Amino acid sequence: MVKVKLKTPILKKQVIRIFKKFGLSKDHATISANALINAELVGAYGHGLSRLKMYCDRISKKVINPKPKIKIKKISQSVSHIDAKNSIGFVAADLGIKTAIKHAQKTGIGMVGIKNSGHYGLSGYYAEQAIKKNLITMIYTNAPPAVAPHGALKSLFGTNPVCFGTPTGSKIPFILDTSISVMNRGKIRVAARNNQKIPEGVALDKFGKPTIDAKKALEGVQLPIASFRGSGLAWMVDILSGVLTGGNHAGRVKDPFDDFSGPQNIGHLFITFKANLFQKNYNKRIKDNIRIIKKLPKVKGVKEIMYPGQNKFNRYKQNLKKNIIISKTTLSDIKILENI
């Protein structure tokens, strides 16, 4: 794959221009561009600029509304419900986390459910916002079918991430943002293309038999982590983000790349609360916790016991100094979108 280097600020301006051209307000275009660029910087390329064309296509096909009249309903001092009216996911999620932050700052705890939204990128990106305000956060979203429920021979759950974030008393936040599939579908696709095998326990073939053949895995189903337990976690996320909020659930979320027959109607749930709700010295306590764990004797070859989010933060810091590298395909998408 040929890659090209681009300066981050220039690239961001380009993406904002494109989103504005597709009808988003300046604010919404900026929110969306920031989220896409952030994904590139943390190294989550699958959630970055390679998706730009898809978002624009969905706007053109009228399954994302570029000018949504988003409705917020305040349910209590701590709880709000948002109908995103098929906005681009970034905008709904940005409003969601900001509202949840306000609730938590006022009452100690906040909860925001969102329906009629779309793919919002990385949960961890929104978690960061809450952590900067010294809040702990739990974030859930569902996604198109990718993983089979335990015992089933058909994918239904999304890779449904479980996200938890907390301040750490240091610059690097603790953000666990983990999908519940054993392996990323993208990685299986790469293995299939290169005729490589995949590890055991990743997938079943179309007959329901375990397979290490990547091509057969793509025809079959992906497995959740830890068998029944991971399947239960995926189910939990589908309930919290879909059933609870009014979003689609039970496999009804459409694939954003392949299915333009209607909006995704993804649901999200944001829970936030003050880190020092019960203990004034929370930051000291969490620092102590991390310090003790890092000092444990290590498995041979392990230099440092890392907490979730540390690697991502380090990649972000490094990438911030460099130009963003994107594929020629993505660059050509950007050029076409700019000249439409």
Query: Which tokens in the block code for residue 120?
Result: 């919002």
Residue in 54, 152, 172, 212 binding a copy of itself, rule: CB under 8 A: 152
108 makes contact with a copy of itself (CB under 8 A): yes
If one counts every other C-beta atom within 10 angstroms of the C-beta of residue 226, the result is 14
Q: How many whole angstroms separate alpha carbon 154 and alpha carbon 139? A: 26
Distances (CA, A) of 246 to 17, 94, 103, 239, 249: 33, 19, 21, 10, 9
Alpha carbon 190 to its chain's center: 21
Q: Minimum distance between the CB of residue 191 and a copy of itself, rounded to whole angstroms?
A: 19
**Chain length of the chain:** 340
Sign of the torsion formed by the C-alpha atoms of 90, 91, 95 and 101: positive
Per-residue mark of binding to a copy of itself, 254-283 (x: CB under 8 A): -----------------x-x-x-xxx--x-
Site for a copy of itself in 153-192 (CB under 8 A): 153-154, 156, 162, 164, 166, 174, 176, 178, 182
**Ranges within 6-45 binding a copy of itself (CB under 8 A):** none
Contact pick of 2, 151, 261, 339 for a copy of itself (by CB under 8 A): 151
Q: Specify the stretch interacting with a copy of itself by CB under 8 A; choose among 55-63, 109-117, 189-197, 328-336.
A: 109-117
**Binding of a copy of itself at residue 340 (CB under 8 A)?**
no
61 vs 294, beta carbon nearer a copy of itself:
294
By CB under 8 A, tell whether 150 contacts a copy of itself: yes
Residue from the set 37, 111, 147, 253 that interacts with a copy of itself by CB under 8 A: 111
Is residue 72 near a copy of itself by the rule CB under 8 A? no
CB of 7 to a copy of itself, least distance (A): 33
CA distance 129 to 208: 42
Stretch that binds a copy of itself, among 41-49, 59-67, 90-98, 297-305 (CB under 8 A): 297-305
Q: Of these, 239, 314, 315, 327, which contacts a copy of itself (CB under 8 A)?
A: 239
Residues 324, 333: Cα–Cα separation, whole Å: 16
Is the distance from CB of 177 to CB of 311 less than 8 angstroms? Answer: no
The label of the residue with tokens 């055991």 reads 200
Q: Which of 81, 253, 274 is nearest to 157 (CA)?
A: 253
Query: Of 289, 324, 241, nearest to 43 (Cα)?
Result: 324
CB of 124 to a copy of itself, least distance (A): 12
Tell me: does residue 93 bind a copy of itself (CB under 8 A). Answer: no
Residue 26 or 291 having the CB closest to a copy of itself:
291
**Residue 66 CB neighbours (<10 A):** 23
